[in-house]
Structures are given as structure tokens and as C-alpha cells.
């Protein structure tokens, strides 16, 4: 079985003029980009549009890609910027998002699914109240699960800045939840006491 070509190899081919090879890269990463855009508060009906914009930007600046960093980090960066631009230009409120039943640890029950759906919608609204430059590291750290180093690279900021923004973003989220969405507070009070 032939192995899949590496990202760097594909990028080299695209830069050499084989545009059709870019399709492989798109198909490989479109789920990551679409999910990141959704988690940044882009409505589902606009996801494809934003993803296309992201991949088009990637194609245009492919020559500037540095292979020592993962392509996914670069994609996160472009996606976050595209999502922030989109939200700035449309100024739409975060809407209730549908949940995809793709739990890795088994499918949730219908009740739990409905409850999660509702909570996700409210959380999007709560996140929408946080300024964009605080929201982006929060999403990348606690929803996308990226390590600090990768977030710093994706947002082109020093790690110290990311840390302080994360502290501030979490404090803001807690305050917003307490004030506007008390139902979202996690049961059992899992607040760190460290």
C-alpha cells in the first residue's frame, strides 16, 4: 500500500505548478479548519465559505510556509484570523450550534445530547462576549487542546502573553457565566485551588 505523501512534499509539488495536488492538502485538513472555525463561533452555514477562504489564503501564501513548524499550526493561525475577520465584518452574535454526535467515548444519550447542545449554544454566546484577542487563546487551549508553545506560534505572540491572556480569558468567562449564564457553571465546583 502506497503511503500518503507528506505535507511538505505536497507543498513543494503545488509550488512547482501542480495545483491539483493542493486538493489532497485541502481534504486532509478541511475537517480541522471547519471545526476550528465552528469553535471560534462561526455559524455552520458559513463554515464552508470560511474554510474556502482559509485554504485560498494558504494557497496564496504557500511560498512563505516554513516546514520546521507543523502545517496544522499555520492553518490554526489563518483560521483564527479568518474567523475574527468574519465576525468583525458581519458582527453576528454567536448562535445556537448543532452538535455532532461524534464523541470518542461512545454516543451520548438523547437527553445528554440535547443538554450538551443547549450548553454548547449558551457557551458560544458566553464566549462571544469575550474580546477576540482573549477568546482566541482560550479556544485554542481549552477547546482545541493545543499546547502553549503551539498557541504562541499560531497567534504569533510570546508564550508569556498567551499565559496572561489565558488567565484573563478564564476569569472573564467565569464572570460572564456567573452573571449571565449561571446554568453553565460546572457541577461540583471544579475550580482549581492551587
Partner 1 sequence: MTRRSNAGDPGERWAEETLRPLRRQTADCDAAPAVLARIRAERDAIRPDPVSPRAYRIAWVSSVALGVASFAFLVSSLLVLVIGRDEGVREIISLGAATWHVLAVFGRLIAGAGARILSETLPILRKAWALLAIAAPIVRAAGTLAAAGGVMSILFSSYVFARARKNAPRVGA
Binding residues (CB under 8 A) for partner 1: these are 19-20, 22-23, 26-27, 30-31, 33-35, 37-39, 44, 47-48, 51-52, 54-56, 59, 97, 99-100, 102-103, 116-117, 119-120, 123-124, 127, 138, 141-143, 145, 147-148, 163-164, 166-168, 170-171, 173-175, 177, 184-186, 190-192, 194
Residue in the block written with cell 489565558: 166
Rank residues 1 and 183 by Cβ distance to partner 1 and give the closer one.
Answer: 183
Measure the CA–CA gap between 102 and 105, rounded to whole angstroms: 9
CB 142 within 8 A of CB 172: no
Rank residues 30 and 84 by Cβ distance to partner 1 and give the closer one.
Answer: 30
Whole-number minimum distance, CB 72 to partner 1, in Å? 15
Measure the CA–CA gap between 183 and 64, rounded to whole angstroms: 46
Whole-number minimum distance, CB 63 to partner 1, in Å? 14
Whole-number minimum distance, CB 4 to partner 1, in Å? 16
Rank residues 90 and 112 by Cβ distance to partner 1 and give the closer one.
Answer: 112
For the four alpha carbons of 180, 185, 189 and 191, in that order, the dihedral sign comes to negative
Rank residues 11 and 173 by Cβ distance to partner 1 and give the closer one.
Answer: 173
Measure the CA–CA gap between 122 and 75, rounded to whole angstroms: 27
Rank residues 14 and 77 by Cβ distance to partner 1 and give the closer one.
Answer: 14
Residue 35: C-alpha distances to residues 103, 115, 117, 181 (Å): 14, 20, 15, 24
Radius of gyration in angstroms for the set of CA atoms belonging to the chain, rounded to a whole number: 18
Amino acid at each position: 500500500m502506497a503511503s500518503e505523501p507528506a505535507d511538505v512534499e505536497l507543498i513543494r509539488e503545488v509550488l512547482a505548478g501542480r495545483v491539483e495536488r493542493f486538493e489532497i492538502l485541502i481534504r486532509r485538513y478541511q475537517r480541522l479548519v471547519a471545526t476550528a472555525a465552528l469553535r471560534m463561533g462561526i455559524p455552520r452555514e458559513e463554515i464552508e465559505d470560511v474554510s474556502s477562504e482559509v485554504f485560498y489564503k494558504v494557497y496564496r501564501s504557500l511560498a512563505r510556509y516554513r516546514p520546521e513548524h507543523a502545517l496544522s499550526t499555520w492553518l490554526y493561525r489563518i483560521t483564527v484570523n479568518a474567523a475574527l475577520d468574519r465576525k468583525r465584518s458581519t458582527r453576528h452574535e454567536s448562535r445556537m450550534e448543532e452538535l455532532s454526535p461524534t464523541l470518542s467515548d461512545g454516543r451520548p444519550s438523547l437527553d445528554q445530547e440535547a443538554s450538551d447542545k443547549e450548553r454548547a449554544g449558551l457557551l458560544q454566546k458566553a464566549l462571544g462576549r469575550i474580546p477576540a484577542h482573549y477568546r482566541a487563546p482560550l479556544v485554542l487551549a481549552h477547546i482545541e487542546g493545543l499546547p502553549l508553545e503551539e498557541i504562541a506560534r499560531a497567534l504569533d505572540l510570546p508564550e508569556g502573553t498567551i499565559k496572561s491572556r489565558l488567565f484573563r480569558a478564564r476569569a472573564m468567562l467565569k464572570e460572564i457565566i456567573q452573571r449571565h449564564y449561571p446554568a453553565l457553571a460546572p457541577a461540583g465546583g471544579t475550580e482549581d485551588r492551587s
